[in-house]
A and B are shown apart, each in its own frame.
Chain A
Amino acid sequence: MEWSETYTAAALGSHLLVGLSRAMILFIVTSGLSFVLGVLRVPNVAHGSLYMIGAFAAFSIVNVLGGGAPAFWAALLLAPLIVAAVSLVAERALFCHLYEREHLMLLLFTFALMLILGDLVKMVWGADYRSIMAPEFLRGSVPVFGSPFPKYNLFLLVVGPVVAVGLWLFSSRTRIGKIARAAAVDREMVGAVGINVSWVFAFAFVLGCFLAGLGGALVAPTVSVTLGMDHDIIIEAFLIVTIGGLGNMWGAMVGSLIFGVTQSFGVLFWPQFAIVFPYVAVVIVLTLRPKGLLKSVW
């Protein structure tokens, strides 16, 4: 039968792995978005721009340091820090004065930030396509299920769960993580016991943006880094957060897995309409469970 020839177990398996590794990138970006959404209650439209800045910064760092493994690790660490610095400035200079305002205003502020950051990236890095190479030990592929699978994607499959566990430990075991979670549930109460809520918000915002930068730096070796990558990721990230449950970190994981895997199987089954599959999955999930799969903090 033709079916079994095209859709062999090996093809299914390797598409599953590709989908899972894509889901890890999506998870790292969306967990940041979800964290901001949970604590600040703001859908940060500029999150995608920060992801883009992370990717471009990783490109510059790798170029300045001349490639190789040390440059790659430096980029993975420094690019998110640069993004965090940018977001800290934006938060303390402008955003923190708006917390008392109406929701829609906060949303529009982040949209304005997206417009500004997008053009700043164009000024600094130009409109060209950029790409960076993964370091030597992550290049090439290894046989998985009898077909070659890129090593870098395996690396992503390791990094994703590490970040997830790290975030979980952070938010459930550390003091500041617990405060942030408390602020997500009841900000008045947190303020009433004498904690500076404004700084908690600043911290949550910067951490969320750090994760966006990390996602950008991690994705840089697998795609061409270019303007417009912010628009694509942000809409996906929003949908993932929504189907996972707003502000729920594990929801971001579940949503990312659904999104990544449906996209990758879409490529296998009907390449032309591959991008339609995840959207259909989102619509199905939201029709059955309008408030997302896992419990939202809202």
Chain B
Amino acid sequence: MRQAIINKNSLLVSAGILIVLACLPLVLPKFYVYVLALIFVTALLAMSLNMVVGHGGMYQFHHGVFYGIGAYTLALMLTKTSLPAWLGFAAAPVCSALAGVLIGLFCVRLTKLYFGMLQISLGSLVWAIAFRWYALTGGDDGIHGVPIPDGIASLIPSYYFILFLLAASLAVMYLILKSPFGNTLRAVRDNPERCEAVGINVRFHQLVAIAIATFFAGLAGTLFVVVEGSVFPDLLFWVLSLEVFIMCLLGGWFTFAGPVLGAAIIVALRTFAGVYTEYWTLILGVILILLIFFLPEGVMGFLEEKFKARTQTTSER
């Protein structure tokens, strides 16, 4: 049975969610709108990571670097040059993708853990440079008070700007993953030897996936600057990358929207648990362990499984 590329039901559900999200700023207090915007940014980052890890099977341990590169590129272009702002928004994801391909060129020669280790070391190299290059990046202080263009400087317009870009990016990623390219990518993930044997250029497909994913990670970075108005080297530090990894696990690797859910849970947890306790990473750690033991497929994977099981039993009856 061939599946249609766009399922009618899921299209309706996404449209519904989008409308709800578009209406939320009308009723929610400002702080919640800000948290939602932060969730959108993080969700885009997690989705882009899932493309290489979940669908590509590559251990891109240090994905946060490309988020940081996007954020820094935009911040530097807005503060140090007088070029139009839209050029910054266009250049930042492209810079991330270039960096992604450059680092990827080294990494795709290796597999699994070796891939991950080389990736993390190259990423850390970028972090170390940004951390120390005071003249350009402001070193460990970062850059604060980035002049955001007037149209999206205040919270509510920036919320819609981010929501629009997130929705558009998710749609593009969905189409890419459903395309023949996406199928080939998953085939490469599951059996690279056989793919090589039938004439698929494995490394090329992996590199293209990395380029797309790092492009969207860079886009997420620019949106982070829009929300926070500042950049700092922690954006490039490996701890953030592992956190994004957890988001994908939490939501579910092999589902499309899982990482979005994971990002929402973690960002909300950090924001609201952070209000009550300074030990929120402890809570995160415990949740993660519970998850590994009881829900290894992630929340979304678990729900999908349940749903499938139910529809199957009803159809058997």
Contacts and interface: CB of A to CB of B under 8 A. Distances in A.
B296 A112 contact: no
Interface string A73-114: 000000000000000000000100110011111001101111
Contacts of B239: 231
Contacts of B59: 104
Contact of A290 (B109, B112, B125, B279): B109
Nearest to A239: B121
Tell me whether chain B's interface is mostly helix, strand or loop, or mixed.
Answer: helix
B279 A275 contact: no
B162 interface: no
Interface string B229-246: 000000001110010011
Contact of B288 (A115, A120, A246, A280): A115
Contact of A246 (B113, B118, B121, B129): B113
Contacts of B132: 272-273, 275-276
B288 A112 contact: yes
Contact of B279 (A97, A123, A283): A123
Contacts of A282: 121, 125
Given A94-B289, A119-B279, A242-B121, A105 B296 contact: yes
A111 B250 CA distance: 14
A242 to B, nearest CB: 4
B114 A283 contact: no
A122 interface: yes
B232 to A, nearest CB: 15
Contacts of A242: 114, 117-118, 121
A108 B288 contact: yes
B281 A287 contact: no
Nearest to B277: A119
B152 interface: no
A275 B286 CA distance: 33
Contact of B124 (A45, A112, A239, A291): A239
Contacts of A275: 128, 131-132
A152 interface: no
A203 B107 CA distance: 33
The list of the 10 closest CB pairs from A to B, nearest first, reads A115-B285, A119-B282, A116-B285, A112-B288, A242-B117, A279-B125, A112-B285, A115-B281, A119-B279, A282-B121
